[in-house]
Amino acid sequence: MEAFLVSIASVAVAEMGDRTQLLALVLAARFRKPWPIVAGIVLATLANHAAAGLVGVWFGRLLTPTFLDATVGAGMLGMALWTLVPDELGDETGGVRGRRSAFLTTLVCFFIAEIGDKTQIATLALAAAYPNLVAVVAGTTSGMLLADLPVVFLGKAFAERLPMKAIHYGAAALFAVLGALFMARAVLP
């Protein structure tokens, strides 16, 4: 249960203001079909985070528990700093226009946008740290949905009212606390 709860909280907070959340906003505004967009987000995130989780499990097996905790802790501290850098949305949609499928466009764009993203890296680190891959991927995918569903359904009006600076600081604090906890596990008997 800990793996699921840490995963959902980490990704839900990290996703606020992230480029994939901005992508969800763009897709919602472009297609105005929330359910196919949500389905695309779910499948793209599951595929992307499962792949990251498998790499994390493999990586975790190569390391001693102490070194793994130190590595995950350092990664979480790095995530804390990365979270303070706000994302901007480039042309993540690849210039796709309204005649394309909202589902297919979301699936492809989200999968690509998640490659190397904070939430994918967090999933990799969490999967290395926790033995329950299903709980980690379910948590990170649920965290993604917690952050993106309001944007898809409520759109720009909702997104403009969020205190993004405070959210970024909160996410950075969460990652810093997690990083410190893993570092403490590495150095304390």
Q: Which domain holds residue 71?
A: 2-88+102-187
Alpha-carbon distance 50 to 47, whole Å? 5
Domain-located, residue 76: yes
Closest CA to 75 of 187, 189, 175: 175
* Cα distances (Å, whole numbers) of residue 127 to 59, 124, 149, 159: 9, 5, 24, 30
Q: Please, which residues have CB within 8 angstroms of residue 145's CB and are 6 or more apart in sequence?
A: 38, 41, 42, 45
User: pLDDT in tens for each of the 189 residues of the chain?
Assistant: 999 999 999 999 888 878 788 788 888 877 888 999 999 999 999 999 999 999 999 988 888 888 878 887 887 788 778 767 765 555 444 444 445 799 999 999 899 888 888 899 899 999 999 999 999 999 999 999 999 999 899 875 665 666 767 766 877 787 788 889 889 988 986
Specify if 93 maps to a domain: no
* 96 inside domain: no
User: How many folded domains does the chain comprise?
Assistant: 1
The reply to whether 97 falls in a domain is: no
Query: Does a structural domain hold residue 94?
Result: no
Q: Is the dihedral of CA 182, 185, 51, 101 positive or negative?
A: negative
Say if 95 falls within a structural domain.
no
- Cα–Cα distance measured from residue 30 to residue 55, given in angstroms and rounded to the nearest whole number: 34
Residue 143 structure tokens:
């965290």
Q: Which two tokens stand for residue 174?
A: 């969460």
Within-domain flag for 24: yes
CB of 114 closer than 8 Å to CB of 48: yes
In a 13 Å sphere around the CA of 5, the CA atoms on its Cβ side amount to 3
